[in-house]
Structures are given as structure tokens and as C-alpha cells.
């Protein structure tokens, strides 16, 4: 049997970065792009894409 990976911490990081990204989108629109790599990276890790 293959052990199931625990991706819970990656989902927490993903939603944390998503909150930061939305906040930046509302408050500082020009800095929105700074949070995009963290959001996409942790979403990919949570979905076990890489």
C-alpha cells in the first residue's frame, strides 16, 4: 500500500497566499503580482502536481 501524502499544510499555505493576493489586489493593485508565485506554487503542491 502506498502511503497517502499529507497535503494539509500546503492547502493552508495556498489559502494564506490567496488571502494576501486578494488583499494586495484590493489595497495595492500594483503589487498584486508579488503574491501570485506563492499562490500558484502552493496550489500546485497541494494538488500534488509536482
Range 31-40 contact pairs with CB under 8 angstroms and sequence separation of 24 or more: 38/13, 39/14
pLDDT reading at 1 higher than 50: no
Residue 39 φ/ψ, nearest 5 degrees: -65, -45
**What radius of gyration do the chain's Cα atoms show?**
13
- Helix (H, G, I), strand (E, B), or coil: what is residue 35? coil
pLDDT reading at 23 higher than 60: yes
* Residue whose C-alpha cell reads 489559502 in the numeric block: 15
Please give the pLDDT value at position 11: 94
Amino acid at each position: 500500500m502506498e502511503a497517502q501524502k499529507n497535503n494539509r499544510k500546503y492547502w493552508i499555505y495556498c489559502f494564506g497566499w490567496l488571502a494576501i493576493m486578494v488583499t494586495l489586489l484590493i489595497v495595492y493593485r500594483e503589487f498584486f503580482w508579488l503574491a501570485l508565485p506563492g499562490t500558484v506554487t502552493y496550489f500546485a503542491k497541494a494538488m500534488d502536481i509536482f
